[in-house]
Amino acid sequence: MAKIVRTDQELECPIIDKTLVERGHDLVLLPDGIDEDALIDAVREVEILLMCYTPITKNVIDAADNLKAIVKYGVGIDAIDIEAAKARNIPVVNIPEYAERTVAEGAFTLMIALAKKLIPLDRAMHANDWVWPETSWRGIDIAGKTVGLIGAGKIAQSMAQMAGAGFGAQVIGYSPHTPPERMQEIGILPYSDITQMMAACDFVSVHCVLNDETRHLVGRAQIDAMKPSAFLINTARGAIVDEMALLDALKAGRIAGAGLDVYSQEPLDQSGHPLRALYDMDNVILLPHLTFFTEDAMTRLEEETLERCFEALEDRPIQIKSTDPRLLSQSSGVAFVKP
């Protein structure tokens, strides 16, 4: 019997929890927002640490003497001190493929909803019974527009397919580490300058990972370069965008609107959050970091998370399916699987 801790219990994972308990393991569930000291106390005898959003710091890692693996049940690994884990030969693994198409569908849903003003129209219908075709309610087509993608991974590739082949938009993109010929192969016209790309777009959708290079990649200069009629969509990570610059642009009407599923400070709230003014904007759609959360995607996530857990518990190499250099830099207890 192994002791296993799963943080962020608010993200319900019944397959993971039921399976681990049925196999006789001591599963401890911890809430989102647990402080570092409480987490340190909880992991002292732990063998597997499952996390989604909770920061896993060097102090936490160093306190877990029996730790065999840190399993991110999700994609983003920016909350884990990977160097501290590597120093102790503790493998870190994520589940990168479970929701690629799912998140792209979520981002595209935001694009359609913004283009067609679906959310304010729905609110007006509930408040007024009916809405007449006044000029202020006119939406826009996606066909014939320019959709810009930041990143060229599998989620962006799905977005390119939906927007280009599916809806007849021109798809352009910025991904400096992707060869231009590869971007063209997947239906994205490459730009070498992100500011120039964003200036050409009617919609910009963010699909890159968060790291030191991409933090505030979409900054004030890039947002200010956007058309007044353009929309920004972010389903990747909040800190990729300078959120205060985005808020200023929305307040001033310098862009047409935004669809957001992620925020650098989560959860979002209407009291003390620096982005609370977004709640009052009819041209902004707010989602609670749940574009990945479908029945199909969660089943894939839970089943593969269990596979990684069992590899660690049985002292087998843990499969790394990610292309993230931070995970590929590991050399102990892992086996790399080409995507």
For 69-85, the pLDDT digits (tens) are 999 999 999 999 999 99
Instruction: With beta carbons less than 8 A apart as the criterion, state whether 190 and 275 touch.
Output: no
Catalytic residue among 6, 207, 289, 308: 289
**Secondary structure of residue 22 in the 3-state scheme:** helix
289 is catalytic: yes
Cα 209 to Cα 59, 137, 171, 285, distances in angstroms: 25, 35, 20, 22
Residues 263-321: pLDDT tens digits? Answer: 999 999 999 999 999 999 999 999 999 999 999 999 999 999 999 999 999 999 999 99
Q: Is 120 buried (19+), middle (13-18) or exposed (0-12) by CB count in 10 A?
A: middle
The amino acid that residue 298 corresponds to is M
Catalytic residue among 266, 303, 307, 326: 266
Residue 237 in tokens? 């990570």
CATH number listed for the domain at residues 100-286: 3.40.50.720
pTM: 0.93
Residues 79-113: pLDDT tens digits? Answer: 999 999 999 999 999 999 999 999 999 999 999 99
Catalytic residue among 6, 101, 207, 237: 237
Percent of the chain with pLDDT over 70: 100
Compute the distance between CA of residue 271 and CA of residue 250 in angstroms, rounded to an integer: 19
CATH number listed for the domain at residues 3-98+295-336: 3.40.50.720
Compute the distance between CA of residue 109 and CA of residue 235 in angstroms, rounded to an integer: 11
Residue range(s) in the chain whose domain bears CATH number 3.40.50.720: 3-98+295-336, 100-286
Compute the distance between CA of residue 260 and CA of residue 286 in angstroms, rounded to an integer: 5
Q: At what angle do helices 118-128 and 100-116 cross, to 10 degrees?
A: 60
266 is catalytic: yes
